Amino acid sequence: MDPQTFNPNSRMRASDQDRERAASVLNEALAEGRLTAQEHSERLDSIYAAKTHAELVPLLEDLPAPSGTQSPSRTGPAGQRGGRIVAIFGGASRKGAWRAPATSTVVTVFGGADIDLRDAILPGREITIKAFSVFGGMSITVPPDMRVIDSGVAIFGGRDVSGNSAESERPDSPVLRLEGACVFGGISVKHKQRKSKRKAIP
């Protein structure tokens, strides 16, 4: 998403999708060190409070478009493309038999998120979570047979990812790719047995 997509003079009302696209620019800028944790938090608050395109432009005009960004998905909440979970000075959770998107962004700012993938309905063999935690925490629970590949970074924070098991090393094991960054925050990934006997992938 090119930040210049938004018209600086437009009074067009911003949609949730517009705000999500704008937030993705901030998240990538934080991960690259272009924004401090405080700047990211302040701009993110402003993005989700923005009502028009003109209000979004000043928050993005000094930042490049995220690398490899594609047009936002229009597949909706069925979990086939992308999703967003945001916890700012609060909490968020996804548990039980929920539909996990192929790619999702989870942002915690002075808040926490609890993501449980053990009984989640996955769209395929592999999903990606872009996790950003700023002065916050995030807990991700995965089933024993899920392989976790963590390529994120920690800046004055911590990433605690439990080791993969023999089950998760099988060729047909589901894969969680964990990306993003934690700044003065923490991300924990634990393997636990499923609560139900239902298979994660139909």
Domain count, the chain: 2
Q: Note if the pTM is more than 0.75.
A: no
Examine residue 187 and state whether it is found in any structural domain, yes or no. Answer: yes
Q: In which band, very low, low, confident or very high, does the pLDDT at 9 lie, cut at 50, 70 and 90?
A: low
Cβ neighbors of 91 (< 8 A, separation 6 or more) are 111, 112, 113, 114
Which of 8-17, 29-38, 191-200 bottoms out in mean pLDDT, i.e. has the lowest? 191-200
User: Does 130 lie in the same domain as 91?
Assistant: yes
Examine residue 137 and state whether it is found in any structural domain, yes or no. Answer: yes
Half-sphere exposure of 97 (CA within 13 A, CB side): 7
User: Does 21 lie in the same domain as 94?
Assistant: no
- Has residue 200 got a pLDDT over 60? no
User: Does 121 lie in the same domain as 168?
Assistant: yes
Examine residue 198 and state whether it is found in any structural domain, yes or no. Answer: no
Structure-block tokens of residue 63: 């930042």
- Has residue 66 got a pLDDT over 70? no
Examine residue 156 and state whether it is found in any structural domain, yes or no. Answer: yes
Domain, as residue range, for 143: 78-191
Examine residue 84 and state whether it is found in any structural domain, yes or no. Answer: yes
* Crossing angle between the packed helical segments 16-32 and 53-60, to the nearest 10 degrees: 10
Rounded to an integer, the average pLDDT of 14-37 is: 81
Cβ neighbors of 15 (< 8 A, separation 6 or more) are none
Rounded to an integer, the average pLDDT of 94-121 is: 89
